[in-house]
Amino acid sequence: MCGIFGIVTKQETNLGPTLIEAGKMLSYRGYDSVGCATINAAGEIDLRKDAGKVDAVAEQYNFAEMSGQRGILQLRWATFGAPSKVNSQPHLDSDGDLVGAHNGNVVNNAELRKQFMAEGMTVRSENDGESCIHAVERYVNKGFGMVDAIRKAYEDLKGDYAFVIGRQDEDVLYAIKKGSGLVAGIIEDGTVVSSDLPSLLPLTRQILRIEDGEIAILRADGIELRSVADGSVIEREVELVKETMEAAQKGNYPHFMLKEIHEQPVVAGELLNLLDNSEEVDAIVARIKAADNIYLAGCGTSYHACLLASVYFSRLAGRATIPVLATQFIAQYGPAVGPGDVGMFVSQSGETKDVLNAIESAEAKGMGVLGLVNVVGSTLMRVSEHHIPLGCGYEISVPATKTFTNQMIAFLYLALRMGGHDTDILHDLPELMRKTIAASDPQAAELADSLVGVQDFYQLGYGMTYPMALEGALKLKEITYLHCEGMLSTEFKHGPLSAVEEGYPVVYITGREDVDLIVSGINEATCRGGWAIVVGPEDARLRANGHEFMILPETPTPEIEALLTVIPLQLLSYHLSLALGYDPDFPRNLSKTLTVD
């Protein structure tokens, strides 16, 4: 979830402090490297960058002394290419007369890099931000002006991205939007552009919002918008914004957790684009197919994704896999694994100590290591033979939401490919997620108010919804501090049913294939006075037997349906946390990344 910032001024000035402050304002998005480029009145480009945090890199390379008439800053969240100086942004073109940086993912990056090298361009990194610059360079070299070169490059660059680019001999910057955020502003004696609003608010409240398929030409005396489609001028009024800095960072959501729940359709779409164009997918599928035994290891939320993945691989690829908590892997399977086995290790941060311990144990026995990780450049990524980046950007709220759904999507994609199924069936998933959020949010808020005062309840699922019951219960425990146990629905009658009394809440999570079984479980509780809350598809049997409902939209497959069931549970946890007066973003006693045993 990179961040970009650009500025154009009427006269050459000391831009370093402004660029540094913009970097600090963008840092909440998460990043692993930082860079600045300035262009002075003579057209000389000063480029300084490296892996690391804003303060440290700025001090090491003395960003504060950088001056010019135009400036670009970028914070990079790695997807293509590990964090390093050469992969840091901004990037130069082959001759060093274009400079720019991007936010987002250019999913055909590998293909483009081969093309650029074959065309004789100087490709210095693995980073897709550099591909944005070379894509423009390709058409500048053919004699196109900058606007038309950018329009042509826009057609070549696949994925969701935004980028800003400048040329030595022009006194403007160009900014382009395709999927990723981009907003511009008018400042005294200049103009600015950024990935998002917070980095602009200290400088201006006069904002111009840029839409997909638009090029913003930033001049010292104003901003001109052009259409990518035909190059025509677009008229749009500058608006005066009144948001606070905190509200802008949260996108006007009251909490980061709610913002990140609402980001799930976007990051799901970005991940699907990545997977469709990733060379790693075939390599991972081939490695799994050839394995004697396949282990899926993670902790907490990541383990729940492994549980669902095991069902996906069995149903869609006919292959048994072994889901296991990462720490338990060492005791339960460590002594028995060997070179013919493969483990898929899952971690949001890539630094989870329990997962890294399991990997160390696996590697000692010659076992293959594959990774599913959100933080590119992390230890898990570096030790994996092959890995898939989750592409979620920074997840600020401690409870995992968007990283969990992308873990499940990645596993579902792999299972479909391994079983020879068409992955195009997943392309409607982001829209189904949007529909689920829109329908579930008000229902969850109302239900949460009814649950205030409850101290203890259960969430039950079966088959593919059993992992969702575990995840829903974990979310509640994390941010409401209540006791909520996730269980296999058929196990409930083997003891915990004794807890049910008049008004006792039990949440039942079901897919279309398991309605009859879940209805039987519902009646076991309701005949004893239990209060049945149902998450599942529209079904007359559920309506006839349950009390409260959070209904899913119609889906093309049971596997997609199961994945969607977690969204109402996330929202229920969020709203109950608020109703109880807690901050869902930062629950007590918990950390985002656990790096201790």
Q: Which residues are catalytic?
A: 2, 592
Please compute Rg for the chain using Cα positions. 25
Which residues have a Cβ under 8 Å from the Cβ of 410 and sit 6 or more positions away?
271, 275, 372, 388, 390
Q: Which residues of 374-393 are buried (b: 16+ CB within 10 A; e: fewer)?
A: bbbbbbbbebbebbbbbbbb
What's the number of CA atoms in the CB half-sphere (13 Å) around residue 447? 24
Residue 492 Cα distances to 258, 366, 477, 499, 550, angstroms: 31, 40, 19, 10, 21
- In 168-221 the beta strands, taken as DSSP E runs, fall at 173-178, 183-187, 190-194, 206-209, 214-219
Structure tokens at 561: 């349906």
**Residue 168 in 3-state DSSP?**
coil
The CA distance from 15 to 33, in Å, is 19
Q: Name the residue among 303, 369, 305, 383 with its Cα closest to residue 341.
A: 369
The CA distance from 362 to 354, in Å, is 12
Amino acid at 439: A
Please, is 362 exposed, middle or buried when counting C-beta atoms within 10 Å of its C-beta (0-12, 13-18, 19+)?
Answer: buried
Would you say 113 and 126 are in contact if contact means Cβ atoms under 8 Å apart? yes
C-alpha dihedral, 228 to 232 to 237 to 242, nearest 10°: 10
Q: Which residues of 429-467 are buried (b: 16+ CB within 10 A; e: fewer)?
A: bbebbbbbbebbbebbbebbeebeebeebbbbbbbbbbb
